[in-house]
Structure 1
Amino acid sequence: MRHSSFHDSPLLVLLNAASGRDDAQATYALIGQQLAASGRRYRIEMVERGEDIPRTAQRLASQATAQGGVVVAAGGDGTINAVAQAAHDAGCPMGVLPQGTFNYFSRTHGIPQDTAAAIEAMLGAQAHPVQVGLINDRVFLVNASLGLYPDLLEDREAYKQRFGRSRVVALFAAGATLLREHRQLRLRIERGGAVRDVRSATLFVGNNRLQLEQVGLPEARAIDQGRVAAVMLKPTSTWGLVRLMWRSARAELAEMQEVEHFQFQHMTVQPWLPYGSRRVKVATDGEVSLMRAPLEFRVSPRPLYLLKPAVRPGAADVVEHAAAHL
Structure 2
Amino acid sequence: MNADAKPALPADSVQSVAEGAIDGPLLIVLNPGSGAQDADDARRRIAAVLDAAGRAHEFIAVEDPAQLGGIAADCALRAAASGGAVVAAGGDGTINAVAHAVLEAGCRFGVLPMGTFNYFGRTHHIPEDLEAAARVLVEGELRPVQVGEVNGRIFLVNASVGMYPQLLEERETAKRQFGRSRAVAFVSALYTLLRNHRVLRLWLRCDDATGRVETPTLFVGNNRLQLEQIGMAEAACVDAGALAVIGLRPVSPLGMLALALRGTLGRLGDADNVFSFPCAALFVSAGGGRRPPRVKVATDGEVLWMRLPLQFRVAPARLQLLCPPPAP
TM-score by length of 2: 0.92
Q: Equivalent residue for 1:324?
A: none
Provide closer, same or farther for how the CA distance between residues 117 and 232 of structure 1 changes in structure 2, counting only shifts above 3 A: same
Match of 1:198 in 2: 213
Distance 2:211 2:92 in 1: 33
1:177 aligns with 2:177: no
Letter in 2 for 1:176: Y
2:5 — aligned with what?
none
Aligned to 2:224: 209
- Offset of 1:272 from its aligned partner? 6.5
Name 1:322's counterpart in structure 2: none
2-side partners of 1:122 and 1:212: how far apart?
27
Greater Cα offset, 5-14 or 141-150:
5-14
Aligned to 1:188, which of 153, 178, 203?
203
**Partner of 2:76 in structure 1?**
61
1:6 aligns with one of 17, 22, 26: 17
Amino acid at match of 1:208: N
Tell me how far 1:271 sits from its aligned partner. 3.6
Residues 185, 272 of structure 1: 8 Å contact kept: no
Structure 1 pair 263–137 and aligned structure 2 pair: CA distance change class (3 A): same
CA distance in 1, matches of 2:288, 2:164: 18
Distance 2:289 2:85 in 1: 44
Higher mean alpha-carbon deviation, 288-297 vs 78-87, is at 288-297
2:71 counterpart SS class: helix
The separation in 2 between residues aligned to 1:128 and 1:81, in whole angstroms, is: 17
Matches within 5 A, 1:142-153: 142-153=157-168
Distance, in Å, in 1 between the alignment partners of 2:76 and 2:15 is 18
Is the aligned partner of 1:299 residue 2:299? no
Deviations 1:80-128 (A, max 9, x none): 0011111111111100000001101100111010111110122111110
- Checking the alignment, whether the CA contact within 8 Å between 2:136 and 2:322 is kept in structure 1 is no
Residue of structure 2 in register with 1:118 after alignment: 133
Task: Tell me the residue number matched to 1:42.
Answer: 57
3-state DSSP of counterpart to 2:42: helix
Q: Give 1:323's aligned residue.
A: none
Alignment root-mean-square deviation, CA: 1.5
Q: Which runs of 5+ in 2 are unaligned?
A: 1-8
Q: For residue 27 of structure 1, what is the aligned residue in structure 2?
A: 42
Specify every segment of 5 or more residues in structure 1 that has no aligned partner in the other structure, as ranges.
314-326
Equivalent AA in structure 1 for residue 29 of structure 2: L
C-alpha distance in 2 between matches for 1:57 and 1:13: 9
The alignment-based identity, stated in percent, is: 49
CA distance in 1, matches of 2:118, 2:287: 33
Question: What is the TM-score with the length of structure 1 in the denominator?
Answer: 0.92
CA drift of 1:175 comes to: 0.2
Is this contact kept in 2: 1:11–1:71, CA < 8 A? Answer: yes
- Is the contact made by 2:79 and 2:86 (CA closer than 8 Å) also made in structure 1? yes
